[in-house]
Amino acid sequence: MKQEGQNILIYSDRLASFEYGENHPFKPLRAKQFLELLNRYSLIFEQNQQIIEPIQIDEDLLYLFHDREYIELFKKSEKGEFTLEMYSVGLGTEDNPVMHGMYEFSLTAAGGTHQGALMLYRDEARFVFNPLGGFHHAGRNHAEGFCYINDIAIAIAELVRKGMRVAYIDTDVHHGNGVQDAFYDSNKVLNISLHESGKTLYPWSGFEDGIGIKEGRGYNINIPLLRGSDDEVYLYAFESIVPPLIKKFNPDIICAQIGGDIHREDPLAHLNVTSNGYEKVINTIKELSPRLLALGGGGYNVFKTAALWTLAWATICDIEPQDYYAGLVGGMMYGPETESGSLNDEPFVLTGTEKEQCLEHAQTVVRFIKELLFPLHGLKF
């Protein structure tokens, strides 16, 4: 179904050029590769599309989620100061190095997400994508998992205090633990995270019995999948749980973290999802969303992640990718495509005992959620 409205890309070459370190797996450069693919496939030239430069978020807004003491330590680390107290809150670790520019980078990435949220709130856009956002592991008082400032929790908290009903869908391969912690006792946000099981992957959390507390009981939904799960298993779990809960909750805005690390070629995870499954999930999210804020999140195969984001952008904007360069220069590939190959993967289907185990586990998780949580939302199972 063709949807009308402005489609906004939040992008900055300066942010995309920032480096966590030469050997660090998190590469902001993915966003630049993504933009090159948008140009390659003629996906960024529509009248209702616009590229907007992110601006730094106001520091006061950080305290919608983060503790002031943590932010003060983060600011000090930016100046080259270092203490054991900083290390104790995750600053200066192998995952979360501290260097000049890191605080500014984090403020600007969070600023882009906040800008996007406000544009949706003001009905200035239907869809906003910040590929340099989605830092779902950052905690109230610590950095972790390559994440320093939780732009998602801040943006959602801002929307909630403005009276918006917000649903959060996290399809990143890692459990969105920081966002879960932000709203675990609240019924103002429906929080759904679909991820590889914490039994085999960082952050070692996100099991199906983590359903929220107090007013938030039933509003936190975790869908852990076994390592090896393929498109069929992933889509079964997603389609069984996400659409009925989202439709019942009836959000004003959906925020989705659409990390590319669910892909079977990601070096830091173990699912077998292809572009085919990813694209179907994105299309379902699009159909469910009255207004959509999408965030890039994880993805450590740089070129494959850029290709997945390109498919997501094309899907949500209802544009078919057009490759006008195919066959040129003796049939050679162009730009980042030389590394990522086609935007689309060949189908992959897991078989044998591993497939049976993955599907049985997904069925068990789905049954648990339907029996325990669906009635809390007035849904039959």
What are the residue numbers of the active site? 137
Residue type, 27: K
Residues with Cβ < 8 Å from 199, sequence gap 6 or more?
A: 224
Distances (CA, A) of 360 to 236, 356, 367: 11, 6, 10
For 268, other C-beta atoms within 10 Å of its C-beta total 15
CA distances from 286 to 126, 169, 300, 358, 372 (A): 10, 12, 24, 27, 27
Sheet holding 292-295, edge to edge: 49-52, 7-10, 127-130, 292-295, 253-257, 166-170, 189-196, 220-225
Residues in the chain: 381
CA atoms within 13 A on the CB side of 284: 22
Place of tokens 């939780």: 150
- CA count, 13 A, side-chain hemisphere, 126: 17
Phi/psi of residue 127, nearest 5 degrees: -140, 130
Residue bearing tokens 């078989």: 351
Beta strands in 218-377 (DSSP E): 220-225, 253-257, 292-295
Query: Which one, of 240, 248, 228, 262, lies nearest residue 371 by Cα?
Result: 240
- Is 210 strand, coil or helix? coil
